[in-house]
Structure 1
């Protein structure tokens, strides 16, 4: 059944961890992924740049997180424990490690091309623009930005311009005005999105030294 020929119907796709496995490791391999990330950070630290101290602190936090995860089924389980115990600062530190690790995967690991295949199957060519279906929703538990990156590539736009094409719901703190499903392609990130953005209030250093 074609999505394009059934505009009266709504299609909702649920995406779990396996949707990004070509770039982001699943739970069983997450520890191995962190180990690789730590080695990457050590190599970066050896370059002796102005960021060496920040990278060193991130390495320490990543090692601690890797050790903690050996006792838990997933980072989500460990994070929920810290939340219940009121250990907000510790949780914030580890969330930064995960966010930076996923950002590293997005930037340096091969991109899972299945997102390209999916969007190519639902997008269409108009006279002067690419037509985006308004009857499709994507709901994902994943923190990564692979869906966003795939759409940016196809639509030839950056992360901020993408917001004018689709509704990225619960994606970035600076998108709090988008609080509802809209009559367009909706990408709903239940757990939010890992990564970084640039504005006038925060810089990359703040991400690692401010709880």
Structure 2
């Protein structure tokens, strides 16, 4: 399992900017020198939701990890707007407005909901963090009453909301979600996608997600 170590804590400057397009052009990537995906091309633009659908083992997560710099791209390139960001580190992409929610290990279980959100805003100036928590709480109104609750006490749907909310702390313009409805009931999955993910695209964000279930997507 790949993990992200947050080393760079320079001040993060928020910008009012339209979402850029994110494109993969002929991307090849894998593990230990063995390709898992070959020459994959995909693009998502502002106010769009693009879904990659396929069974376990199809390479969906490999693609996303390659886009955000967790796995090395060995062929092709990744573009954010007109900038080549192939194999740039995840923290640099976070600064550039790319948010990534992995399928697992997407929250800090021993911490409270508030502490998770504060961790998500680690690049923000200290005076901005609390305000951003309030703004994210407006997107997920179920979270503010739970700010003092430990994350490991949340339900599956609440955990997924927290995972997305934590990434939203930096106000990413491109949002990448790895199976956001995994382990959720059909009702919760539908609620998450219709009420929250579609709303994010509706305010101009570019959303790329992967799913096993075509009906969920």
Larger helix proportion of the pair: 1
If the length of structure 1 is used for normalisation, what is the TM-score? 0.29
If the length of structure 2 is used for normalisation, what is the TM-score? 0.29
